[in-house]
Structure 1
Amino acid sequence: MSTTVPKRMTVIQATFIGVGSMVGAGIFALLGAAGAVAGSAVWLSFLIAGVIAALQGYSFAKLGATYPSGGGMLAYLARGFGEGHVTGIFSWLFYVTGAIVAAMVASSFGGYASAVVAHDSPTAATLFAVALVLVMSLLNVVGSTAVARVQSAIVKVVLAILGVFAIVTIANWDPALLDPAGYPGVREIIASVALTFFAFLGFGVITFTAKDLPQPSRQLPRAMYLALAIATTVYVAVSLGVFGTLTADQVVAYGATALAEAAKPTLGQLGYVLMVITALFSTAGAVNASLYPSTGMTQHLAEVGQFPPVFGRTLSRWKASIGLLVMAGLTVIMVLALDLNSIASLGSAVALLIFSAVTTAHFRVHRETGAKLFMLVIALIATLGTFVVFCTTTLVNEPKTTFALLVILALALIADLLWKRTRTRREREIPTS
């Protein structure tokens, strides 16, 4: 008689995987860039980005409740487009981009760790980044229960520190710095939304927790909405605290250390230390959450024929998923070989395309999911609109990112065509009885 391993992930743990993926290095890196565009209205940019993410979250939650799968959003794509080239290309895109985002966040962790213990040594930063990827990969090999527990602990620490930061800075802010009379025009605020939306990209990871939730049809939507609510509240509160303490020019000048500088007037050196700890925990959690989907996703894609069968296998001795090991290997290679700062916007651009494709697929099955058509239309317009604004305001000024985006799109297309051709040839070679 066979026994099955019970699914043990809770709604809160699934929520924290999403929050951990969202509240990573983004909040530290984005404030300066967004402040250069939207000035002290950045809190409004985060709020609008949160609304757009919530619209997309509505679509994902409806799909997840109807079609819970370890394949997450990629399984939703197949529901609308079938297991053809469209789903295959976006699957390769998601997989490779996941490694890029993990590498970017790991590099950020390395930078913070090096600044604390190695006097900003580039070599030490790289070693710390690679070590983090290896540790989090090992954690994912242990299993989803271990991932959920560690992620919950990390997110609790991050939210506690950011909560203290927000309360202290807002309690001592200068309201004049947030006077709407000093806000830029609507166009600038909308343009900054394309930047702040980057901080919400991780919510899609929650769709991959369906395989570990006891009742995914009810629990996945709850986790989705709760994670987005927490992330939006944190981002708005933190940006109000920072821009209510520092001028927009100061925030832009301080860049990634703006949070630490905003904490100094009331918390002194303790504020700086708290922000460094937060950065280390945030980036560690984001790498953990970025690697988490790779196991269930690649096993699902191998089963349906979108990926080669090897991606669905595990190394029996260590019970390590090949899909996870390949993802970790790609991440380490990118940390070692690429200038990730020059393609920092790549993950945002590809994610917006993938989200738009998932919502487009949702139109074909909305009667089955019970989703309201007008909500899907608004979600698609908002997401595609953000992508267009992103291209016209950010990518035009980042030729390396534009080139990298085109290369990634081409590689995804080539990978899908080659694998599908190989699969078809193998199927023809199998003798029929």
Structure 2
Amino acid sequence: MADDKMNFNATWAMAVGGMVGGGIFSVLGVIIQSAGEWAWLSFVIAGLIALVSAHSYNQLSIKYGEGGGAFTFLRKINHQGFAGSLSWILILGYILTLSVYAFTFGHYVAHIFELGSWLPRVLGVAIIALLTFINLKGVSNTSTFEIITVYGKLLVLLGLAVYGLAEWMPEQLTKGVSPKPWHAAIMGAGTIFMAYEGFQLLSYDYNDLKNPDKTLPKATIWSVLTVIFIYVLVTLGTTMIVGADTIIEKKEVALSIAGKMAMGTIGLVIVTIAAAFSTGSAINATLFSTARLMENVAEKKDLPHLFVKENDENIPYYAILIIAALASALAIIGSLSSLVDAASIIFLFTFGTVNFIAFHQQAKYKWICFTGSILCGLAIVADIIEKIEKIPFSLIGLIVISVSLFVFRPYILKKIK
């Protein structure tokens, strides 16, 4: 029924929740380490790329009148082979994102108890296991719950930002670290792009939106603008409270440290609760959406038929279990910086592809779409150049895995039915 479909408020909340869900809690320390006092500008640059990409996603969703995102867009222009390969890369990106969310959840919650370095990894795996069980039982978040949690965490983040900005001390931006040139912001933007991953999930839910041709563009554009604003304020405000050196040193729990310094134990608890709910809801939504994506891809015979199988609750259980297992493994063995960086590159590549498709398909304001594809490409190149100097084993591994998926996907599909 039409009344059951998501209106603008619910759609906006879902998009904001998808981005902020693990975004700022996960990447703040990573970006300050990379861009220093220009971290706020990195968020603006990455946000502008996301804004352009949102336009392309919106135009293609409206053009084809159905959900499915990049996988559907490529199939519509008869690039089935590339669509299948990109879907595999995109699924890998979502698994990496899940591992980042789980990693972040574990560290924020464990920070309160301080029982040892083993606890964050255990908690990260535990939250994935719990939400996997919930998803298999067919229980999911309602849009009303999502709206409440989104406004709650935005209130906490804004409160923290305002507290810090009120104590404006510019010297905190370079406290204990060497100043960075302004162009470090360009390099940094590619590194933390995954902080804007999430709005595109709405393109999967096109048919669940009320008046989607109007609601989808309006909600996604305003959600990205909102998140840019929040990220800039939180970056500056938090740095004013604790200083750049502390955020880098404690990057896994930077916002909790800021909360404690601002309001003592109460601040620590409030920020930890916000982080736990935020990352937990992001894990739940991403786990479910990725499983549905795998099911959709498998139905088109671009993944083994195994992933089409559903349980009694109509949940693709093999997909859920495989995603959860891989994300758990990455959360155990990965570092925050390497996981964030790998996920960012995958989403830059995917968004760049969608921007180019929109340009090729003569979408409205196609010059915006073309600009988006160029910006995504430049951000990837900038990120790779920066990482090459540091012997990036994680980056090399990502490239090898991605190329292998493109090359060997047809053979894998023939062997595994």
Change (3 A) 1:143 1:334: same
Q: Which residue, 347, 372, 380 being the options, matches 2:343?
A: 347
Q: Contact 1:72/1:297 (CA < 8 Å) preserved in 2?
A: no
Percent of residue pairs identical: 25
Where structure 1 has 5 or more consecutive residues not aligned to the other structure, the ranges are 427-433
3-state DSSP class of the match of 1:394? helix
How far apart in 2 are the matches of 1:290 and 1:196? 18
Q: CA deviation at 1:95?
A: 1.3
Q: Contact 2:98/2:327 (CA < 8 Å) preserved in 1?
A: yes
Q: CA deviation at 1:392?
A: 0.8
Q: CA deviation at 1:380?
A: 1.1
Give the AA of the match of 1:217.
D
Where structure 2 has 5 or more consecutive residues not aligned to the other structure, the ranges are none
Say if 2:63 is the partner of 1:66. Answer: yes
3-state DSSP class of the match of 1:305? coil
List aligned pairs for 1:282-361, cutoff 5 A.
282-315=278-311, 317-322=312-317, 323-335=319-331, 338-341=333-336, 343-344=338-339, 345-361=341-357
Q: Contact 1:109/1:128 (CA < 8 Å) preserved in 2?
A: yes
Q: Which residue, 36, 41, 44 being the options, matches 2:38?
A: 41
Q: CA deviation at 1:398?
A: 4.9
Q: CA deviation at 1:54?
A: 0.5
Change (3 A) 1:257 1:325: closer
How far apart in 1 are the matches of 2:144 and 2:357? 33
How far apart in 1 are the matches of 2:302 and 2:203? 19
How far apart in 1 are the matches of 2:208 and 2:13? 14
2:368 paired residue number: 375
Say if 2:397 is the partner of 1:401. Answer: no
Change (3 A) 1:411 1:212: farther
How far apart in 1 are the matches of 2:103 and 2:145? 20
1:113 paired residue number: 109
1:215 paired residue number: 211
Instruction: Kindly tell me the number of residue pairs found equivalent between the two proteins.
Output: 412
Say if 2:8 is the partner of 1:11. Answer: yes
Say if 2:77 is the partner of 1:50. Answer: no
Change (3 A) 1:396 1:349: farther
How far apart in 2 are the matches of 1:144 and 1:69? 25
Change (3 A) 1:9 1:304: same
How far apart in 1 are the matches of 2:261 and 2:140? 41
How far apart in 1 are the matches of 2:114 and 2:23? 23
1:168 paired residue number: 163
3-state DSSP class of the match of 1:413? helix
1:142-188 Cα deviation digits (max 9, x unpaired): 65863534433332321121121122222232256569xx9743322
Question: How large is the Cα RMSD of the aligned pairs?
Answer: 2.9
Could you tell me the TM-score, scaled by structure 1's length? 0.84
2:226 paired residue number: 230
List aligned pairs for 1:22-33, cutoff 5 A.
22-33=19-30
Please say which structure displays the higher CA radius of gyration: 1
Q: Contact 1:170/1:244 (CA < 8 Å) preserved in 2?
A: yes
Could you tell me the TM-score, scaled by structure 2's length? 0.87
Q: Which residue, 113, 136, 152 being the options, matches 2:131?
A: 136
3-state DSSP class of the match of 1:245? helix
Q: CA deviation at 1:110?
A: 1.8
How far apart in 2 are the matches of 1:145 and 1:69? 22
1:155 paired residue number: 150
Change (3 A) 1:259 1:332: closer
1:273 paired residue number: 269
Q: Contact 2:19/2:227 (CA < 8 Å) preserved in 1?
A: yes
Q: Contact 1:54/1:228 (CA < 8 Å) preserved in 2?
A: yes
